[in-house]
Amino acid sequence: MKKLLNSSLAFCCATLFLVSPAMTQKRPSRSAPKKTTKANAPNKVVKPNTEVKPSPSPSLTPTLTPTPATEPFDGASVEKMSAQCVTLETEAGAIELKMLPEVAPETVRNFLNTVASGALDTTTFSRVVKKFVVQGGNLATRETMTPDIAARSRRTIMDEPNSIKHVRGIVSMARPDSPNSATTNFFILVSDASHLDGTFAAFARVTSGMEVADAINGAALEGDKPVAPVRLKRAALSVCPVKPIAPAQ
């Protein structure tokens, strides 16, 4: 009997020894809910500036992205880019542009590469402000989209504000208020806008077809959106015509 009692006591002690450590482990504590502080409180809503400015690219958070190295005007000199003219063949007629790479080389390079890629073809002049601008270059308005063109629409370039005055016929880059955020959106001025001087990158000048820009600017609108947006059928590169040298008097 005594042996039986001793065996039972030994078995109970061994059981307690095995079970007790597991029973005494702490359960993971649940974190207390995070209090809202000034540091993590939602951002305060800021009222937008009501001054009329060219509309930003409709896209996305601006990020500086390098241009692919395979594009035709990468590394082109100012002289080579200056010799290139662009014709915007729109449904309303042709607008011819002369580049100004001497004041905005990277903006011109980006524009020429965009034209050469065909990305501007079938886009529309999607924003118009009466007696101010017609704005094109929104790749989201194309009839078709490809992964390469979608990637191009997110590619941003450095700002190049310069000495060119924003007068009628100047072509300049549209961008949001944040710096270095222009993509492919551009605007053509149909009247002078000195308040844009030194802020936006003027990069080309209309040499022919301002009557076409005026016609686009005069069309019916809903706000700043054309009721029937004029489509850019094709943007074409060509060598600028050489002006004949006048004979000496």
pLDDT in tens, 130-187: 999 999 999 999 999 999 999 999 999 999 999 999 999 999 999 999 999 999 999 9
| Domains of the chain listed by start with CATH number | 79-239 (2.40.100.10)
To the question of pTM greater than 0.85 for the whole model, the response is no
3-state secondary structure the chain: CHHHHHHHHHHHHHHHHHHHHHHCCCCCCCCCCCCCCCCCCCCCCCCCCCCCCCCCCCCCCCCECCCCCCCCCCCCCHHHHHCEEEEEEECCEEEEEEECCCCCHHHHHHHHHHHHHCCCCCCECCEEECCCEEEECCHHHCCCCCHHHHHHHHCEECCCCCCCCCCCCEEEECCCCCCCCECCCEEEECCCCHHHCCCCCEEEEEEECHHHHHHHHCCCEECCEECCCCEEEEEEEEECCCCCCCCCC
Is the model's pLDDT at 203 over the cut of 70?
yes
